[in-house]
Amino acid sequence: MSVSKRRKHIAILAAFGPEVRAFVHSGLAQRLAQKYEVTVITLRPQSRAFSRAGVPVVGMPNGTEGRLLAHVRYWVSKAHESWLRAKGRQKWRHYLTGVGGNAPRERRIYRLARYTPIMRALTKYEHLCAKWLGTQIAWARLFRELGTDCLVTSSFASGRARPALQSAVNLGIATVVVTNSWKDAYATPYVHVLPTRIAVWSEGVARDILAANPHLSSDRVVITGSLHLDPFLRLSRVVSRDEFCRSVGLDPNRSFVCYTAAAPSAVRNEEFVVEALAGALKEAKSEAKTQILLRLNPMEDGSRFRHLVERFEDLVIQKPDWEWYPEQDWCCAMPGDVDSWVATVYHAAVNVSIPSTVTLEFASLNKPVVNVCFDLPDPLPPDVSNRRFWLADFYAEVREAGLAIPAFSVEELIENVYSALRSERKAPALTSGGRLPVEAVIGVIEEAVGE
């Protein structure tokens, strides 16, 4: 009598909310389940975000790294920042809190780490400590209970995911890091734990992450594209314009600009920018005045824009269907929001936003994007100005490819928006580069588990 072969087990760690959109809402988990046993491990297994997961969902252990290893990680990461500065790079700081460089005293302490051989030695010391101290008991127990053959996660640096990643490596479990955001290689550029593979969205990110980690071999980094873009590149289902516009309160017979608001903790006075844009569109001579669909950031209630809705009848607020629990740092899209967002991008005439990943989503559907690269009511210092997003390293490929038009003043913003509306200018197409992201990531996972 033949004995059926055990299916290998893939554990997907969704430690933060956006990873649910990448790993579950993209269909990745369900596709993997056709060949493997799949379990999603997450901070909030009770979330309705998993209502369509189609695979088991369990809570993640509370275990953290031990104090000694955590101290080693901290000091080596600070040394790495010093090494990066010597190479002319800085860690990207997205939010306004904590902006600024290290104090002079810290720079003196880490001066030796600017020499690459010293940095390599510190990294080897960290890896040795992690080998002996990094197996977290609760994570090891869960992996053994599940019979895990491969751990898929999105971060190689976060304190929430690192214990799982290190424990898996120490247990001989294959590990695949699928970076959740294009900023990861710049906000947290140091790879503490060497995974089997790191999947990134572009050649530029791959190049930069390798340059920031001399201990990381090039064969570990694979270009797959972004899982967030898969629904746009696949475009399997989009509601009609009439249905979409009526659901959000827009007139389907008139064009609309989609303004996507940034996180309130990352920018200042964005409501002034929206006010300037709404005022200009209101004064337009055309009878079919352009509407504005203001898509709020999931981490806000929209109170900063409410007075504008009262003033401008053609300004409509779209509240994303996300969960936001700041005390747990959990911001997560619900399954239906993915369809709503794809429809928003598909039916919009143009996007206006602070430079962000939204640019890629509009570019994937060949839509024009105008980026806000100025401040209102007055210019701000470079380290807090909206312009810093346009000049950021992670945005270099967008700038070079012409996927967005920068506006460095209110006048340029209005001119560029009108130009896009009048000429129906199409942005350069953002291609998938072959396989769609979900297929590419599945291929990386299959390779990691030896199939």
Q: Residue 1's pLDDT band (boundaries 50, 70, 90)?
A: very low
Q: How confident is the model at residue 105 (pLDDT cuts 50, 70, 90)?
A: very low
pLDDT reading at 18 higher than 50? yes
pLDDT at 444 over 70: yes
Average pLDDT over residues 325-337: 92
Please determine, for residue 117, whether its predicted confidence score (pLDDT) is greater than 90: no
Which pLDDT does position 100 carry in this prediction?
43
> pTM for the whole thing?
0.90
Answer whether residue 427 shows pLDDT above 70.
Answer: no
Q: Are 212 and 189 in contact (CB under 8 A)?
A: yes
pLDDT mean over 314-334? 93
Task: Tell me how far apart the alpha carbons of residues 229 and 158 are, in angstroms, rounded to a whole number.
Answer: 23
Q: What is the pLDDT of residue 6?
A: 80
311 touches 3 (CB < 8 A): no
Q: Which two tokens stand for residue 172?
A: 């001989």
Strand order across the 221-223 sheet: 57-59, 37-42, 9-14, 148-153, 174-178, 197-200, 221-223
Q: Is the Cβ–Cβ distance between 326 and 306 less than 8 Å?
A: no
pLDDT band at 451 (very low <50, low <70, confident <90, very high): low
Query: pLDDT at residue 103 above 70?
Result: no
Q: Tell me what pLDDT residue 4 has.
A: 58
Tens of pLDDT, residue by residue over 393-416, are 888 888 998 999 999 999 999 999
Under 8 Å between Cβ of 103 and 134: no
The confidence band for 222, taking pLDDT boundaries of 50, 70 and 90, is very high
Query: How confident is the model at residue 362, as a pLDDT?
Result: 93
What percentage of the chain reaches a pLDDT higher than 70?
90
Q: Is the pLDDT of residue 92 over 90?
A: no
Mean pLDDT value of segment 298-303: 91
**Percent of the chain topping pLDDT 90:** 65
Please tell me the predicted confidence (pLDDT) of residue 436.
87
For the chain, give the mean pLDDT.
88
- pLDDT at residue 426, as a whole number: 54
Show the tokens assigned to 35.
Answer: 């060949």
Lowest-confidence region among 91-100, 149-158, 195-204: 91-100
The pLDDT, as a whole number, for residue 102 is: 45
DSSP state of 243: H
Predicted pLDDT of residue 234: 83
Query: Are the C-beta atoms of 102 and 81 separated by less than 8 Å?
Result: yes
Structural domains in the chain?
A: 134-225+435-448 (3.40.50.2000), 231-423 (3.40.50.2000)
Least confident of 143-152, 230-239, 353-362: 230-239
Across the range 188-207, mean pLDDT stands at 91
Stretch 149-154: mean pLDDT, rounded?
96
